[in-house]
Amino acid sequence: SRFESCWPALMKDSHGVVIIFNPELPSHLKELEMWYSCFVQQQPLLDAQCLLVAHHKPGTAGDTENLSLASPLNKLRLIHSNLEEDPEDVRIEFMKYFRSIISIMNESREREEMSIIS
């Protein structure tokens, strides 16, 4: 991975991580754990700040039922995207994710303010 030297800059002050992968590629499924470890666990971010997007290419069967991920990935929010069939579903799920990130940020800011006051 020739971009590893850039990772610290990408991670700095990030509030959320979206990992998009092709569920039909076994190599992507293997790499998922490495991305999760580097970008979520080592930051550290909450699992709620991570969104997995299994992107199905046009024309692929896209077996959305049987994608079983190993722990700890199976605890993360996972959406299936197929922009040919359900672009609206993906948009709604993204909005839910962004809203959850904003509320997490607000809660942590309130905690910081309370700790400064007290």
Tell me if 73 sits within 8 A of 36, measured CB to CB: yes
What pLDDT, on a 0 to 100 scale, did the predictor assign at position 79? 92
Buried b (16+ CB within 10 A) or exposed e, 18-50: ebebebbeeebbeebeebbebbbeebebeeebb
Omega cis (within 30) before 58 = no
Mean pLDDT of 88-106: 94
What is the rounded distance in angstroms from the CA atom of residue 32 to the CA atom of residue 37? 9
What pLDDT, on a 0 to 100 scale, did the predictor assign at position 20? 94
What pLDDT, on a 0 to 100 scale, did the predictor assign at position 7? 82
What pLDDT, on a 0 to 100 scale, did the predictor assign at position 26? 86
What is the rounded distance in angstroms from the CA atom of residue 87 to the CA atom of residue 56? 12
Res. 14: pLDDT tops 80: yes
Tell me if 52 sits within 8 A of 73, measured CB to CB: yes
Mean pLDDT of 58-87: 80
CA angle 91, 87, 65 (to 5 degrees): 95
The CATH class of 8-117 is alpha beta
**Nearest residue to 77 (alpha-carbon basis) of 56, 54, 103, 45:** 54
